[in-house]
Amino acid sequence: MNKNSVIIFGSEYVGSGDETLGFAILMELLNALTKREDLPKAMIFWNTAVRLLEQGSPAVPRLKALEEKGVQILAGRLCLQDLGIVNEVGKAAGMDEILDLILHNEVINL
């Protein structure tokens, strides 16, 4: 496991351009991650990316699988509250917890 990396998601898709394609890429990325042993320490979801953690999201089973493998799945507490989302997977995290991960690990922004 790569216990020194943290992946940050800021939206429900990866990259810029076509959002439908970006969502498909994100689902493929999560699928591929579930099959790997060299996993990140944590995955942080903020802004509209917290929608990926709510009930009914196709990302939930993949994220639960990653959580079971030891990856911390964190949702920005402010984002959850502002968007009125109850997360089915992961846990709500405040900015102090998020900053601890960002400042002490390699950060990958998607």
- Summarised one tens digit per residue, pLDDT across range 23-71 is 999 999 999 999 999 999 999 999 999 999 999 999 999 999 999 999 9
Average pLDDT over residues 4-17: 94
Reported as a single tens digit per residue, the pLDDT across 67-105 is 999 999 999 999 999 999 999 999 999 999 999 999 999
Token pair, residue 106, equals: 């390699």
pTM over 0.85: yes
Type of residue numbered 98: I
Is the CB of residue 62 less than 8 Å from the CB of residue 27?
Answer: yes
Amino acid at 107: V
**Which residue spans within the chain are E strands per DSSP?**
5-9, 42-45, 72-76, 91-93, 106-109
73: enclosing H helix or E strand: strand 72-76
Task: Say whether pLDDT at 2 is over 70.
Answer: no
Domain ranges of the chain: 5-109
Which has the closest alpha carbon to 11: 56, 44, 58? 44
Tokens of 3: 């216990």
Domain at 5-109: CATH code:
3.40.1260.10
